[in-house]
Amino acid sequence: MKKQKEEEYLSGNLTAMIDVVFQLIIFFVATISMQDQAMNSGIDLARAPNGKAVTVKDKREIMIDVDKSGRISISRTQLSPNVLLSILKKAMAESQGVQVPIIIRGDANARHVGIKAVMDACATAGIYKIKFSALKEKGS
C-alpha cells in the first residue's frame, strides 16, 4: 500500500518545469550576448601590467569608447562631442550633484585629441571622477 502512494507522488508532469528551465536558459544566453554587443570589440585597449584591477563596479558609471579614428561612442552609438556633453549634463542633473563615474575606453592607437574631447565634455558637465580602462597583462 505504501509503495503505491510513493509511485503516485513521483509521477507528476514535468513539462511545465522543463519549459521554465529552457526559458531561463534562453534569457541568460540572450542577456549575455546583448552585454557583449554593447562593448565595442573594435577598440584595442592599452596594456597596464602594474594597474590595479577594478573589483566593484558602480551602477551609475558611464563607459565612453574612443576608437583609433577619434570617434566617440557609448554602447556602440556614435556621438558628437556636443551630444556627449548633453548626455553628461543630464546624468549629473539626475544624480543631484553626486559625481557620476566615467570610464574612458580609449584605443591604444587613438590620437589624444579624441580623448581630450571626452575629458573636456566631462569637465564642462562638472564631472571630475574619470577612469581610463586598460588591459592587465596575463600573468600579472
Domain that holds residue 31: 2-38
Query: Which residue shows C-alpha cell 550633484?
Result: 97
Instruction: Give domain status of residue 9, yes or no.
Output: yes
Instruction: Give domain status of residue 140, yes or no.
Output: no
Residues 16 and 67 in one domain: no
Instruction: Give domain status of residue 50, yes or no.
Output: no
Read off the pTM: 0.63
Taking each helix axis from N to C end, the angle separating 112-125 and 81-94, rounded to the nearest 10 degrees, works out to 40
Each residue's pLDDT tens digit, 60-88: 788 898 988 888 988 888 889 999 999 99
* pLDDT class of 2 with cuts at 50, 70, 90: low
Residues 32 and 67 in one domain: no
Average pLDDT, the chain: 78
Structural domain count of the chain: 2
Q: How many whole angstroms separate alpha carbon 49 and alpha carbon 15?
A: 51
DSSP 6-59: HHHHH----HHHHHHHHHHHHHHHHHHHHHHHHS-TT--BPB-TTPPPP-S--T
Q: What is the mean pLDDT of residues 21-50?
A: 69
